[in-house]
């Protein structure tokens, strides 16, 4: 079927013609369809059997343009192929931490997958101060399994590069390169920011030192092909509840720097923490929840580091380095030292990429709902000023970071600055 | 024609059937063929018209195995496709600095190119203390043109990644990863070294600190896809005379760290400098030529840095970063600072990759003719011990290097240590 964008009316007939999807519903089921896409790139539909609402799927179709910018920003649809490819890989490496995929139609750029009716988008749940006792464990496992098993730590060199070749994704790369590392820091028509932040935005744009470091992080993003990264792993790409966590929307995936994914998680948690200056007026309640969220930041990094070290130690099967390389030089100690140095480098790069991502969220095309939903722009500016200061400090001081507590201390200092 | 290895007898008939090659010779020419391959991977033939010796070409055919290791080390022939692809690219970006390519037969893994009858392999010419007044200018132009114009400094992101996809070369990568960064430092049957160097070789294999830094450089080699690199740019891959310089043998090409190519040139020049402890017994003559060669090291780096800065400043057309990125932050000054920082990083990485390559040449599968050809193994060990010390210092101290003179000072100190 030649590509055409589907809608709530045309989708049911299309799905009835896809055997893998039809099998999910009773024969002759009366399908309800609701478009729920709040993302920037795609149509997203919930399709359910009106008589048996447990029979439901998600259908996701790529558009020819960047939705957030309007039809004037054309975009290739190949991203749905990359999303499908990443989802296959994640289902293999991190089973249970992504939705199940039922069908993929390359020509229609349309994927059908598990409906997560009992899950919430993490961003919204955090604004409502929910708690997720399994999140740290689940997301750190997702990060370690998806990154380690696609990296040179785990794979033979030839196999890794053959995999990398399948994930060359230049058009989506270009979006992140522009919208994370370039356009927010220059005058560009799609940029949006709180008018009370004019002078802060101007100051970043004029800061040669900050911009040089952003450029270094962009160089790393463009060239450091360490592992298959999700490349958009913010809290809007995580759906969860108290017992289950799923990562969605990996269309930006490619072989890039591991720290970009880790940085996205930590930085979005910190932004949420700051957003409670708007969302949670009661000080005791706010501080208690902010501490909880910062505990998630600490937990995610520390569990990521612990699990990565553990799995790497147990499976030194990649070409960087084979176990026998270390044998003549102290063996386990030398290998442990190398793992430790590598994980420290990842933390410092996490601070760098995470730091830049604070800035882009405050002054680029894609702001962040946690903050944007603060209707009082003065309260919003309080959170935003702190976010910019934290971003600059994570970025500029990254080479001196030695533990995640260094990053959390910066957040706490900026929070304390607000409250005095 | 199904693949089969050709020889001096079968090559003429094959070439007569290739129109682009046949056109290079008089009709009915009596062709002489001589196999001259001294490399590790391929057959190389000089084919000439017996009656008109100026009518001559080089035919190069890939074998199914690693020649230096024997038929037991199988190797894909796709490397000839990569060599042909790189040669096309170099002919476009660095015209006159590589041989002209006349024909390429994918099925036979055979390429026919310009015969450089008036050129000498640089390695041999340096042992004979020749001088090349144009070399610094030519090789620095080759490095800048081949690296800059295939990098994010110069190319739009999408175009660079599409080019990168064509140069994914995992099997040849694997050879360098193993033979430069891994196997020399462990017990591996193909390693070769001077028996008088047993304790030095043993010491490197047991040095956890050195091995951790080698592993960091290997990680960079495996993941930092900065530009199309030649990836084997030693003085055996350079043919030249007083007026002309050509780079050959780019079959290892891929998108890797720029500093690897620069490091290969500098490190091979330094090895040649050391080899004169064996080749040039007269002290005054030796010291004078060693100074000349170290002058080439200084010249190659400084001209590389100067030309790279100049072309980048004049053509800031790549996505890292567009010129407008710097405008709001001081403009030319900020951009100049970023270029300077990037070029310093390249120098430090040059020291790192170059440092490792000293070590691999002393204790790995592929030694270096300048040194191996010193028949007195005691004299040879003098040069080799200095090479190991220089390699370790370049590698371990690389983050403190600020100019090429720092690297040359290390060489001079180790030379002085020999002479006292």
Report the pLDDT averaged over residues B303-329.
95
Q: What pLDDT is recorded for position A249?
A: 94
Residues B376 and B397 in one domain: yes
For the stretch A186-208, what's the b/e string if a residue is b when 16 or more beta carbons lie within 10 angstroms of its beta carbon?
beeebbebbeebeebbeebbebb
Give chain A's mean pLDDT.
Answer: 94
Q: What is the pLDDT of residue A70?
A: 62
Token readout for B383 is 């040069």
A209, containing H or E segment: helix A208-223
Of the three residues B114, B136, B166, the one that is the final residue of a domain is: B114
What's A109's domain CATH number? 3.30.200.20
Q: What is the DSSP letter of A153?
A: T
Q: Residue B161 is encoded by which pair of tokens? A: 């990644």
| Residue B312 CB partners (closer than 8 Å, separation 6+) | B148, B153, B154, B339
**Residue A226 is nearest to which of B207, B223, B322, comparing CB atoms?**
B223
* Cis bond before residue B272 (omega within 30° of 0): no
The string of DSSP codes covering B265-278 is HHHHHHHHHHHHHH
Residues B171 and B316 in one domain: yes
Burial of A292 (0-12, 13-18, 19+ CB in 10 A): middle
Tokens of B349: 């990485």
Q: Are residues A306 and A242 in the same domain?
A: yes
| ipTM of the complex model | 0.94
CB contact under 8 A, B182 and A328: no
State whether A74 and A163 are in the same domain: no
Cβ–Cβ of A161/B152 closer than 8 Å?
no
pLDDT digits (tens, 9 = 90+) for A100-150: 999 999 999 999 999 999 999 999 999 999 999 999 999 999 999 999 999
- Chain A residue with CA closest to B165: the answer is A165
Residue A17 lies in a domain: no
User: Are A57 and A112 in contact, with CB atoms under 8 Å apart?
Assistant: yes
- pLDDT value at residue B387: 97
- Nearest-CA neighbor of B58 among B46, B67, B50? B46
Q: Which of A96, A114, A132 is the last residue of a domain?
A: A114
CATH of the domain at B384: 3.90.1200.10
Residue B420 pLDDT more than 60? no
Q: Considering only CA atoms, which of A398, A291, A415, A325 is closest in space to residue A355? A: A398
Supply the mean pLDDT for chain B: 94
With CB atoms and an 8 Å threshold, state whether A208 touches B333.
yes
The structure tokens listed for B111 are 């390429």
Looking at the fold, whether A396 and A330 belong to one and the same domain comes out as yes
For residues B64 and B174, membership in a common domain is answered with no
Residue B5 lies inside a defined structural domain of this protein: no
**A113 cis-preceded (ω within 30 degrees of 0):** no
In a domain, A52, yes or no: yes
Helix/strand/coil for A234: coil
Q: Is some CB atom of chain A closer than 8 A to the CB atom of B321?
A: yes
pLDDT at A420 over 60: no
Q: What is the mean pLDDT of residues B390-396?
A: 98
Q: How far is B79 from chain A (nearest CA, A)?
A: 14
**Is the same domain home to B159 and B257?**
yes
* Nearest in space to B111 (alpha carbons), one of B136, B135, B79, B143: B79
Same structural domain for residues A202 and A339? yes
* Contact in structure between B142 and A125 (CB atoms under 8 Å): no
For the stretch A287-299, pLDDT in tens is 999 999 999 999 9
Domain check: are B105 and B167 in the same one?
no
> Which of A53, A87, A114 marks a domain boundary?
A114
Q: Are A44 and A30 in contact (CB under 8 A)?
A: no
Q: Quick one: tokens of A145?
A: 């399994």
Q: What is the CA radius of gyration of chain B?
A: 22
Position A3 in a domain: no
pLDDT grade for A408, boundaries at 50, 70 and 90: very high
Q: Is the pLDDT of residue B267 over 60?
A: yes
Flag whether B6 is in a domain.
Answer: no
For residue A165, list chain B residues with Cβ-Cβ distance below 8 A: 165, 168
B 356-415: CB under 8 A from A: none
Give tens-digit pLDDT for B41-86.
789 999 999 999 999 999 999 988 766 666 666 677 888 999 999 9
Expressed as residue numbers, the domain containing A98 is: 25-114
Q: Are residues B100 and B231 in the same domain?
A: no
Number of domains observed in the structure of chain B: 2
pLDDT of residue A332: 83
| B289 close contact with A: CB closer than 8 A | no
Give pLDDT tens digits for A76-100: 788 899 999 999 999 999 999 999 9
Distance between CA B374 and CA B370 in Å, rounded? 7
Tokens of A12: 């049911």
Tens digit of each residue's pLDDT (9 = 90 or more) over B317-350:
999 999 899 998 887 889 999 999 999 999 999 9
Say how far apart CA A147 and CA B16 lie, in whole Å. 53
Number of residues in chain A: 420
Cα angle B347, B353, B358 (rounded to 5 degrees) comes to: 120
Position A36 in a domain: yes
Give the whole-angstrom CA distance, residue A73 versus residue A83. 20
Residue A41's pLDDT band (cuts 50, 70, 90):
confident
* pLDDT score at B68: 64
State both tokens at B193. 């070294």
| In a shared domain, residues B149 and B46 | no
**Residue tagged 């000293």 (tokens):** B358
Q: How far apart are CA A160 and CA A104, in angstroms?
A: 25
Tell me A341's DSSP state. Answer: H
Give the pairing type, strands A101-105 and A227-229: unpaired
Instruction: Give yes or no for a contact between B12 and B45, defined as CB atoms under 8 angstroms apart.
Output: no
Q: Is A16 on the interface with B (CB under 8 A)?
A: no
Contact A208 B182 (CB under 8 A): no
**Is there a domain that residue B1 lies in?**
no
- Residue A110: φ, ψ to 5°: -130, 130
Q: Does B224 touch chain A (CB under 8 A)?
A: yes
Residue A157 confidence (pLDDT): 96
Whether the pLDDT of residue A40 is over 70: the answer is no
Of A213, A91, A179, A169, residue with least CA distance to A361: A179
Both B27 and B163 in one domain: the answer is no
Whether the full predicted model's pTM is greater than 0.90, yes or no, is yes
Tokens 């295939």 belong to B150
């Amino acid at each position: 079927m030649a590509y055409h964008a589907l809608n709530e009316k045309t989708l049911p007939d299309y799905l009835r013609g896809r055997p893998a999807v039809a099998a999910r519903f009773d024969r002759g089921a009366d399908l309800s369809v609701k478009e729920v896409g709040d993302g920037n790139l795609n149509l997203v539909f919930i399709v359910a059997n009106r008589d048996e609402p447990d029979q439901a799927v998600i259908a996701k179709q790529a558009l020819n343009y960047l939705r957030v910018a309007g039809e004037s920003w054309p975009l290739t649809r190949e991203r749905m192929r990359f999303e499908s490819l990443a989802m296959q890989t994640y289902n293999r490496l991190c089973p249970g931490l992504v939705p199940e995929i039922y069908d993929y139609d390359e020509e229609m750029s349309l994927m059908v997958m598990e409906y997560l009716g009992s899950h919430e988008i993490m961003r919204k749940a955090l604004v409502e101060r929910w708690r997720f006792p399994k999140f740290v464990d689940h997301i750190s496992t997702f990060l370690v399994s998806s990154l380690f098993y696609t990296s040179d730590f785990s794979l033979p060199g030839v196999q890794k590069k053959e995999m990398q070749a399948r994930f060359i994704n230049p058009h989506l790369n270009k979006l992140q390169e522009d919208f994370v590392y370039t356009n927010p820091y220059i005058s560009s028509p799609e940029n949006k920011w709180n008018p009370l932040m004019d002078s802060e935005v101007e100051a970043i744009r004029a800061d040669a030192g900050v911009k040089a470091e952003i450029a270094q992080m962009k160089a790393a993003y463009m060239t450091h092909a360490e592992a298959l990264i999700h490349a958009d792993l913010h809290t809007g790409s995580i759906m969860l509840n108290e017992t289950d966590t799923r990562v969605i929307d990996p269309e930006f995936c490619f072989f890039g720097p591991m720290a970009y994914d880790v940085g996205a998680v930590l930085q979005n948690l910190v932004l949420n923490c700051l957003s409670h200056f708007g969302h949670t007026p009661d000080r005791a309640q706010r501080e208690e929840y902010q501490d909880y969220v910062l505990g998630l930041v600490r937990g995610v990094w520390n569990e990521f580091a612990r699990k990565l070290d553990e799995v790497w130690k147990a499976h030194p099967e990649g070409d960087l380095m084979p176990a026998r390389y270390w044998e003549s030089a102290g063996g386990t100690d030398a290998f442990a030292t190398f793992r430790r140095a590598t994980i420290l480098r990842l933390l410092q790069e996490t601070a760098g990429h995470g730091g830049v991502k604070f800035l882009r969220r405050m002054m680029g095309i894609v702001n962040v709902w946690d903050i944007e939903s603060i209707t009082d722009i003065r309260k919003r500016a309080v959170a935003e000023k702190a976010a910019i200061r934290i971003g600059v400090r994570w970025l500029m001081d990254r080479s001196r970071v030695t533990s995640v507590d260094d990053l959390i201390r910066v957040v706490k200092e900026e929070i304390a600055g607000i409250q005095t």
